[in-house]
Structure 1
Amino acid sequence: MKLIILLSLAATGLAVRTPSISWITKEQVVDIGSSMQLECSVQYAQDYPVLWVKRGTGGVQDLPISTGPGLIIRDSRYSLRHDKGSSTYILQIKDIQESDGGEYMCQVLIGINNRITANVDLLVRRPPVISDNSTRSVVASEGDSVELSCYAGGMPIPDISWRRENNAILPTGGSIYRGNVLQIANIRKEDRGTYYCIAENQVGRGARRNINVEVEFAPMVKAIRPRVYQALQYNMDLECHVEAYPPAAITWFHKQEGIVNNQHYRVSQFATADEYTDTTLRVLSIEKRQFGNYSCTATNKLGQSSAIVTLIETTTPVCPPACGTLTYSAAYTPTPSVLTLLALFAAILLRN
């Protein structure tokens, strides 16, 4: 019986003296450039090496930092302090870099294949960076469903929101949408423009990506003045406004014949934006046969559209463009100097 008691006491004594880790720092979240320390308290480990090790990731081996009271790593940003009274190993790191983030292990090495380990995560705050797999631009046809995606790295994980240029209303409603994916069902030409993906996590100023959304649609043609008037032998401008994407090929027709630049006509076009084009047909020294209907026709891969401008004969020249004569249409208002000359001429006639 005495032998059993002695063996039991011996076993109890051995169990009590087995090395252990009694405490380790909780997860740390720090800013780049700051300093921090990790603490690990051990018991009954006087005869065993105590190590700080950074766990390797992505195929990278574990990185030993210290053993006992001494550093292994050659980096002046690291220091180690051993508090013998509490048997605590304090690892200090200054000027924290993004690469310092990761899992740190406090280990008591009992044997080659036997060690006691406790872990602590070091999280380094990082400003948002929008990922390359985010949408950069989109070209869609009217009626398509469109998906804009935006992802960002950073610590903490960034929040993603969407806006439009000039805070225009989003197709989903409202001026802001939160989430990684903005879905636009049955996209319309009014939905085209610049969309902003904004990533924020309260670290730094955040990140933004401009996403250009182009919507292809069939041409729409509008006659600036559907009916214009001019006298024989004077010039007149016929104008149309075209909205289309891709930009449309524009042709003027008269009596079903396409018009090109020659001694009778001058055609000009001015693109005010990718989707907008203004076109002018100048009819030169109008002849009798040139009066009638003119068709401004715009065509792209999605369709065709036309507008009719009617050139009507009048006996009075219209200014502009037929300026430089004393006789104009009713739309012309004589200047005071012309009125004065007319009054003087009338007075001379009365005297005679």
Structure 2
Amino acid sequence: MEVSIILKLTALNALCFLGILSKDIMALEPSFDVPIVNITVVAGKTAVLPCSIDSLGDFKVVWTDQYSTLLTLDEKRIIDDERMVLDRPHTKDWNLLLHDVKYDDRGRYTCQINTMPIKTKTIELIVLVPPTILDSSSTDLTAKEGDKVTLTCNVTGIPRPTVQWFRKPHADSRDQHKERVGINGEILIIHNISRYCDGIYECVAFNDVPPAVNRVISVMVEFPPEVWLDNRRMGQSRGKETILECKVTAFPQGVTVWRYQGQDLINSDKYRVEVYQDRGHMVILSVRIVNLTREDFGQYSCFASNGFGMDEETMTLYEFIPASKAQPVVTTTTVPILSTTVSKRNRLLRPSIYDDKEFVPYNPSGNGHNPGNDSLSDGQLFGFKCTGAIVRICAQYSMNNSGTTRHTGMYNSATLLITLICVLDVFCFLRS
């Protein structure tokens, strides 16, 4: 009886102990501490796939990829890929590091705990790839004017890159402005290409994953020559020298000459021919003609040709005869000088055309000057007084026996007018 009671009590205690133990085990069951996230990384960089576990206990942790390939077990790498490393900066961290990420590494990775049932945490690895231009893209090319030209710029990248096209003139052109051409895309088609469409074409690929990449393609267009003349007529005197110039655009450059009377002009004592490279496909052809004679005047032509055509322009060199200079006409005017006999006191006033004190005796009869008739009944001398060197103004004037002068109102007004004119001239000179 007592034995059975003891056995029952022992069994009851065992059941209680097992119940308490099972509760403790359930309370210490491992769990993931970090929520599920997606990881985005640029190709070539290092990806960190986080996995943090609480209360792991004696359970094991493994990493697998999207193909269920076992990558790590606890702290050991299972797969033969040295780029994969298990990183444990803290006790509960079981992070998977993937160095030098490649685009093929993208996909789903799983961190697992070998509980019953198995606990898992899935992470999606997204790999971005910068744009790359493939070698199959177009290279430098030469086309004929009027041809159809197709330029390609094959690119790869994640996300898919956008391709834009630009054009700028060749390096030897003065205008180096780059302009946008065509529409976005890997192919640029130029219909009926002309000489004005040649240049450096550039495709730029970008997808917001730096760096953007570009490729330049040189396009050359072959076309026949075109001759330009700045002047179609030029004059020069005999014995002088002159220079004739023409501009020729062509690709490729061929024969370019100056011609006179059907003969090509070459370097000699008479002619000096020079060619200058200008911008783009343009050259300047000049000929210097020295010691011009009558035989040098006439029609000169600038001729150019290549394998695609020819062009010619003509200009006239004529003799320039300067107009003779007109000689100034000099006229001589003889001014008669009237001599008169005046009284002794009148000779004291020595007349001069530049002297303000000039005194001209006055003859009221109008029949010439009679000596001795200059004196009036009151003993005064009467005549004309003139003033001014540039503008001469004369007015009636009288002088008494004592030598005192008396000006008329007309004389005083004339003197004032000349003074005002002089002041005005000085004022205008100072303002200018």
Q: Which runs of 5+ in 2 are unaligned?
A: 1-35, 52-58, 111-121, 169-176, 333-432
Shift of 1:142: 1.0
In 2, are the aligned partners of 1:130 and 1:150 still within 8 Å (CA)?
Answer: yes
Distance apart, 1:106 and its partner CA = 6.5
Q: Where does 1:304-315 land on structure 2 (aligned, <5 Å)?
A: 304-315=310-321
2:86 aligned residue (62, 71, 79): 79
From 145, 148, 152, the equivalent of 1:145 is 148
Q: Which has the larger radius of gyration?
A: 2
Query: Is residue 2:302 matched to residue 1:296?
Result: yes
**Which residue of 2 is the match for residue 97 of structure 1?**
100
1:37 aligns with 2:71: no
**Partner letter of residue 168 of structure 1?**
E
Structure 1 residue 161 corresponds to structure 2 residue 164: yes
| One-letter amino acid of the structure 2 residue matched with residue 78 of structure 1 | V
Q: One-letter code of the match for 2:154?
A: Y
Deviation at 1:66, TM superposition (A): 2.6
1:80–1:310 distance in 2 versus 1, CA, 3 Å: same
Find the partner of 1:282 among 266, 288, 296: 288
Relative to 1, partners in 2 of residues 1:251 and 1:64: Cα closer, same or farther, differing over 3 Å? farther
Match of 2:184 in 1: 178
Give per-residue Cα distances to partners, 1:153-201, cap 9 Å, x unaligned. 333221111122334363x5xxxx2000000111111111222201001
Post-superposition Cα deviations, 1:282-341, rounded to whole Å, max 9, x if no partner, equal: 11111222211111111111111111121111224xxxxxxxxxx99xxxxxxxxxxxxx
Separation of aligned partners in 1, 2:94 and 2:61: 15
CA RMSD of aligned residues (A): 4.3
Q: How has the CA–CA distance of structure 1 residues 34 and 70 changed in structure 2, closer, same or farther, with 3 Å as cutoff? A: closer
Return the TM-score normalized by structure 2.
0.53
Distance 1:120 1:261, change over 3 A: farther
The Cα of 1:255 is off from its aligned counterpart by: 0.9
Q: Deviations over 1:90-114 (max 9, x none)?
A: 66125x424474256779xxxxxxx
Deviation at 1:63, TM superposition (A): 9.1
Q: CA deviation at 1:65?
A: 3.6
Change (3 A) 1:306 1:76: closer
Indicate if the aligned counterparts of 1:54 and 1:65 stay in contact, CA closer than 8 A. no
Identity %: 25
Paired residues of 2:138 and 2:151 also in contact (CA < 8 A): yes
1: CA distance, partners of 2:225 / 2:234: 23
Contact 1:192 1:214 in 2 (8 A): yes
Gap change, CA 1:169 and 1:287, over 3 Å in 2? farther
Pairs within 5 Å for 1:192-207: 192-207=198-213
1:35 is displaced (CA, Å) by 2.9
When residues 120 and 305 of structure 1 are mapped into structure 2, their CA distance, relative to the original with a 3 A threshold, is farther
**Correspondence list, 1:1-352, <5 A:** 28-31=39-42, 32-37=44-49, 52=64, 65-67=71-73, 70-72=76-78, 73=80, 75=82, 78-79=85-86, 92-93=96-97, 96-99=99-102, 101-102=104-105, 122-165=125-168, 166-168=177-179, 170=181, 172=182, 177-316=183-322
Q: Deviations over 1:36-61 (max 9, x none)?
A: 3177xxxxxxx999663698xxxxxx
Cα distance in 1 between the residues matched to 2:123 and 2:40: 11
Distance 1:93 1:51, change over 3 A: closer
Task: Give every structure 1 segment of 4 or more consecutive aligned residues whose post-TM-superposition deviation is greater than 4 Å.
Answer: 25-28, 47-51, 103-107, 119-123
Query: Residues 63 and 109 of structure 2 are in contact (CA less than 8 Å); yes or no, is this contact kept in structure 1?
Result: yes
Provide the TM-score with structure 1 as the length reference: 0.64
Matched residues in 2 for 1:132 and 1:121: separation? 32
**Which shifted more, 192-201 or 62-71?**
62-71
Structure 1: 5+ residue runs without aligned partners?
1-24, 40-46, 56-61, 108-118, 317-326, 329-341
Q: Distance in 2 between matches of 1:290 and 1:98?
A: 81
In structure 2, the residue corresponding to 1:289 is in which secondary structure?
helix
Of stretches 29-38 and 287-296 in structure 1, the one that deviates more from structure 2 is: 29-38
Q: How many residues align?
A: 276
Q: For residues 122 and 105 of structure 1, do their structure 2 counterparts lie closer, same or farther at Cα, with a shift above 3 Å needed?
A: closer
Asked if structure 2 preserves the Cα contact closer than 8 Å seen for 1:156 and 1:201, the reply is yes
Opposite residue 132 of structure 1, the aligned amino acid is D
Residue 231 of structure 1 aligns with an amino acid whose one-letter code is: S
